[in-house]
A and B are shown apart, each in its own frame.
Chain A
Amino acid sequence: MHVPDGFFNAVVSVSAGAVAAAGVAVCLRGARRELDDRTAPMAGLVAAFVFAVQMLNFPVAAGTSGHLMGGALAAVLVGPYTAVLCVAVVLAVQGFFFADGGLTALGVNITIMGIVTAVVGWAVFRLIARFAGGSRGGLAAAAFAGALVSVPAAALVFTLLFWIGGNAPIAVADVALAMGGVHLLIGIGEGLITALTVSTVLAVRPDLVFGARGLKRSLVLRGADGATEQVPAQAPRQAAPGRPGRFVLGGIAVTALLAGIVSFYASSSPDGLERVAQDTGFGVVATDHQLVGQPLADYGEAGGIPVGVAGLIGVAVTLAVGGGLFFAVRRRAGETRESVGA
């Protein structure tokens, strides 16, 4: 999905750059609280790990393969703020050090593969983890769901950007359907790998998993005379209560920016919309691997989807993310109150 230069027009490229910069700035603020000096190198290692794991192709269905995006995995392992930073750094390194992914498309790439996957993945993970409990299985299931949803969500945001300013004359509904469909399949692979990876790490080094924080046992004190005594572990430093609020504010700011770009561009370029209105033609899968050897005609039946569907899906995803964040925030705020009261 590494979008090269020239794929989106300059307006979308620059605007997405602004969105990505705003998102990364929000995450930097958040990560400064998440990352004491112990976790800063950990983020670097997760970034290196994500970089390596993105090369790991896994079979999806007959003849096609996908590769891990890793945004949701990173979010579960090191928290959403840090995860966005990790993926953003991976993309920047790929762009600047390996010439992979256009430099002007860096904003688009970070927005889609960093911010969207990490935020959606984390929100879904928290929601499911809430119901599934804190067990290893529950956390793995939550990680599966988070990663599963994060991939098609990224594909849909890609479609949304494509609708606003893609440099290719293809019907947007087809793109949405093809991208969403294939990425749902890829999402299953991403979900499986994420869940099993998180589960493996939980078994050996549960302290590394951000999403499993707060599981601590009591300690035994043994005196020189052999007498023993149980004491509770001193509480680990907890996040400041105001933190999730900032995350939501940041999310709202990013959404507002995106919305602003959409309306700006929609009004200034009617031909972009006109083009969308012609809903004949073929869909195409704009990912790295699916194109080769994939019968493109399979998506020919996708025509006839109402023009607004992609937009509606985008709105639905936004609402889902917003709702998920709202619940996560309310729950954390509740926890904080409880622990203060106790």
Chain B
Amino acid sequence: MGAGHHHHIYRPGDTVVHRLPPQCKLPAVLGFAVVVVATPREMFAAFAGYALILAGVAAAARVPPWFVLRRMAVELPFVVFALALPVIGLGERVSFAGMSLSLEGLWAAWNILVKATLGVVASILLAATTEPRMLLLGAQRLRVPPLLVQIAMFMLRYMDVILDEMRRMRIARESRGFTARDVRHIPVIARSAGALFIRSYERGERVHLAMLSRGYGGSMPMISDLSASWRQWMLAGLLPVLALLVLGVL
């Protein structure tokens, strides 16, 4: 997993993309990703079209390119994998810059890279323009099972608390000269993990007791109104529909 991907991606703003209700944005991005994945790898122009659509969304949301590029680091491990494919792939080989590359491998690398990139940019734009709490409310609106939404809610509520605990424990370990180098150090890390589990749990437990005492019965009360007009649905629907048009025309 890429380093630092626990940082929140959300960028507060008041653009048309930010204002779209989350229950419209979620299916739109999913639909777009499905269209991208289903596109045959030979259709270069279609992929260019998808990239233009995403650039349009980013511009409308005022999300700067450097922001997106920096967040794309999460993709890196698979970029390495994709780049290895032409070298290790099977089948017919071509010679390029003195290297013997698999033609099939090149196609595979292109296919994975372009689809993964478009997918990750779409996800980044969704996360950058939607507050995590709103994304959860949107999921609830879309009839995602409430139990899942709650688990995600608690996860987001305590994630920073736990990461902070973990960071402090690491600093404590390192300030006493410990760095994990080989297998013999696993017990130390594991005991930290155990302590982390208990600490985090007991910290959250106190807040949870307070929630229970006020009648928390399994779902967070939805106080804010999250209705979406048909115009907002249409606007969000533009993303997958445009992608489909690109796929159909090109």
Contacts and interface: CB of A to CB of B under 8 A. Distances in A.
Does chain A touch chain B in the assembled complex, meaning CB atoms less than 8 Å apart? yes
A93 B159 CA distance: 11
A254 interface: no
Interface stretch (A198-206, A261-269, A314-322): A198-206
Interface in A167-224: 167-171, 188-189, 192-201, 204-205, 208
B90 A197 contact: no
A168 B105 contact: yes
Given A5-B119, A6-B112, A99-B124, A89 B84 contact: no
Contacts of B5: 94, 98-100
A93 B158 CA distance: 13
A48 B155 contact: yes
Contacts of A2: 1, 74
Interface residues of B, number: 92
A281 interface: yes
Contacts of B17: none
Interface in A18-48: 24-25, 28, 31-32, 35, 37-38, 40-45, 47-48
B163 interface: yes
Contact of A280 (B81, B90, B153, B155): B90
Contacts of A284: 81, 84, 88
A258 interface: no
Contacts of A102: 33, 37, 115-116, 119-120, 123
Interface residues on A, range: 35 or more
Contacts of A198: 194
Contacts of B153: 44
Interface of B is mostly: helix
B80 A291 contact: yes
Contact of B84 (A10, A85, A291): A291
B78 interface: yes
Contact of B123 (A54, A99, A291): A99
Interface of A: 2-7, 9-10, 13-14, 24-25, 28, 31-32, 35, 37-38, 40-45, 47-49, 51-62, 67-68, 77, 85-86, 88-90, 92-100, 102-104, 167-171, 188-189, 192-201, 204-205, 208, 275, 278, 280-282, 284, 286-289, 291-292, 296
Given A85-B147, A100-B2, A291-B80, 16 more contacts: A5-B33, A10-B38, A45-B162, A47-B154, A48-B155, A49-B162, A51-B162, A58-B186, A59-B183, A62-B182, A85-B151, A99-B9, A189-B183, A189-B186, A197-B190, A201-B198
